[in-house]
Amino acid sequence: EAGVTQFPSHSVIEKGQTVTLRCDPISGHDNLYWYRRVMGKEIKFLLHFVKESKQDESGMPNNRFLAERTGGTYSTLKVQPAELEDSGVYFCASSQFGGPEAFFGQGTRLTVV
């Protein structure tokens, strides 16, 4: 069974540009989460989808971040316009409905220069 997959694995963009990250959860997992780890800090929650609905987006830092999960399958996280402080590793995770055990993707390392 395929795990959580994320694209791209690395992205280097200039300040002010737009970047879109993609996450494909484990098949059948209704819960999808985005997390972020910035340099030297712990992994922080961004938001949580249940199927296509946003269950909790309390961790989204500002309105430059937009997450979607059309059809309840894969999800995208768009940063527009990117700022230097957005640099970090963005992780996606998924879990079964009602299940607390979350499985993580390998992350997308975003560098804003």
Partner 1 sequence: QKEVEQNSGPLSVPEGAIASLNCTYSDRVSQSFFWYRQYSGKSPELIMSIYSNGDKEDGRFTAQLNKASQYVSLLIRDSQPSDSATYLCAVNRDNAGNMLTFGGGTRLMVKP
Residue closer to partner 1 by CB (options 36, 112) is 36
3-class SS at 3?
coil
Residue closer to partner 1 by CB (options 14, 28) is 28
Shortest approach of partner 1 to residue 18 CB, angstroms?
A: 25
Residue 79's beta-bridge partner residues? 19, 65
Residue closer to partner 1 by CB (options 1, 41) is 41
Assign residue 37 a region: left if phi > 0, alpha if psi is -120 to 50, beta otherwise? beta
Contact 104, 5 (CB under 8 A): no
Shortest approach of partner 1 to residue 1 CB, angstroms?
A: 14
In angstroms, rounded to a whole number, what is the distance separating the alpha carbons of residues 68 and 72? 9
Which residue do the tokens 């484990």 mark?
26
- The binding site for partner 1 (CB under 8 A) comprises 3-4, 31, 33, 35, 41-45, 48, 55-56, 58-59, 91, 95-107
Shortest approach of partner 1 to residue 6 CB, angstroms?
A: 9
